[in-house]
Structure 1
Amino acid sequence: MPRSTDTRQLTRETAERLVAAGQDAQALTVDAIYTEIRQGSRSTINDELKRWKLDQQRTDGLSTDLPPEAAQAMRELWHSAVTQAEQLFETRRAALLEATEAAQRQQAQAEQSLASAHSQLTQLQGERQQLHEQLAAQTQALLAQTTRGQTLEDSLHALQAEAQAQREQAQQQLDAQRQAHEQRLAELRQAQAEQETAWRADMARAAERLEAVQRHVMLQVAEAREAQKRAEQQASQHASRSERLGTELEALRLAHATQSAQLTHTQQVLLQAQAEQQRLGLELQQSREQLSAAQDDAVHPLRQRAQRRAERKAQTPAAAPPSSANKHKKSSPKAAS
């Protein structure tokens, strides 16, 4: 977007160029200037054009009393002074605007800081109030705990006295139980001695019984050895018999295998004979069918001929029998011959 200073400068330059081209300075219009520069707003062009025309009127009023060269130099000097003044004004105006914006930003920051400080102050005041309330509550709780501690201390003294009494009572009960246990232990020791005497007597009787059992076992072992010898002899006999039976069984197996092979061969031959018989039966059946077909083929034409003859005889009327003269005439040539 073009700046207003550029638009104003272009407006003045264009107006001077048009005047130099021969147009009247007071007859220049905003549309004519806008048509030339093609930028800026018409209001800016109008303001600057009015100022330029006013300057032209002033310089024209002064130039009537001065030579043309001096008047032209004065116009240029005036134009340069106005241009510099406008540039200085725009520069200072921009600086003032920047300073104003910076001051506004600083003011906004200060206001934000002040608002933040107020917020923090309010928060601190609330926290202070909460701390006061917490301190009061803790003070009350401390007083309650102190009272409760005193109560607990009194209860502790009472419990200690009660515990001392219970310890004394427990000690008395323990002494009574210890005496009862010692008496019971003496009784148990006496009973154990009696049981040990009885156990030793039982052990002696058990040893005697064990010796008797050992003798009986030795006798049974001897008998078992004799029985084992007899069993070994019988096993040897059975082994020899088993070997003989195994040899016979092997021979029987060989004979059975031979017979099985022969039987298999016989079955194969029988199957082949049955297959051959079936094949011959099929060939015989085929031959019979072919013979029957041939007979049908040979008899069928004869039957058709006989049927046609019978049909012709049935359709033709019966002829008169020939006379004797005719028979004689027919037979004479035969006789002559």
Structure 2
Amino acid sequence: MSDESHWHKLDDLQCAYFVNEVRDEAYAPLFSSKNYTLWRKNLNFLDGYAHYALENRDVIPHFTLDYISNGENHYYLDGSEHPLELLANRGVLDLNTENVIDYLCFFSDVAFYPYRKVKFISDIKHSPYSGASAMKHHFRLQKYLQKIAVTPAQNGDFAVTLPVVYNGETVKGEVYVAKNGEIHITKPVRISLMDRTRKHEKLHYIHPHSEDVLQANYDILQSSSLGQALIQSTKDHHEKIIIISGMEHSFFVPPSGNGYVIAPQNIDSYSAYQLFDIIAALKDLELRYEGYGRGDPRGEEEEYITDNALYNLEILYTLCTIVFELEEAGFDSIVKRFKRLGYEAIYSAYKNEASKDELYEMFTQRVYKG
């Protein structure tokens, strides 16, 4: 890919201006840091617009909110297809044979459908798999990447062949992309994306199913004694977990309290990845109650990284404990998804009663050293 596809760091004034532009007072704690970095990456299929990533560096891993913007008009990437719909309706979508695959891959990165799980892949480096399962998909992906093809169709549309991940398997995909951005998958399953059925706002942080998503995940945690204790601890301190819209999954606990967990807007119930982030946010809050912190992000870098690694190890240890309790309760699918995140070796070591020092070494090797 060209240099235009690379991320570029913007200066502090541009960052401060952008934060002020996208700030929502209803979610003020998300925009109250003094330690942001703003990144920009061109999108070759949108005329005049780019992908902006607002990175909060108060925590490691950094907490990021994503947008599409032309510097004046900002569209929050809420995990649904609607920001791209709005831009397509404005006439800024400009597809051709050179960029239609980039569009497809970007679409599947930013728009998640819990009941239509299809992911397009054009680069072996961007495979969604990690851990032991990655090797099997790696070889299949190599085979299908050699057969990527784009064929112009009638009315400016495109017929595309590329690898897709569907139902956990990497297979050959056949996709018809309309000039207006609509995506119609014909193989391995018939699915249409970008259905244009809902109204949408440009900056839509609120999650339409926030209470349902939280309750469904809390219901799962009732099968874990530690999960129950963390929920009760948060209630005792009069704080809560808030589900917000966004890409993929992550969490953030600001100094002011409460925990924020990202869920794509189309999720309306339990999801394992949101469950893991809810657990992490609950444990993060408990560590705050006990007087622990992540250190000063503006202080000595190595010390800050070490403080965060130790802090995150406590969160990971809690995750392992709760996942183990849920496994004992029969939630095998949760264990599979935890391993899929790349924690298979760490979880196995935990079950074999590895010491925290051993887990720390594995964790830092996995997360901080790649």
TM-score (norm. length: structure 1): 0.18
Structure number having the greater strand percentage: 2
Structure with larger RCO (C-alpha < 8 A, sep 6+): 2
Larger radius of gyration: 1
TM-score (norm. length: structure 2): 0.16
Structure number having the greater helix percentage: 1
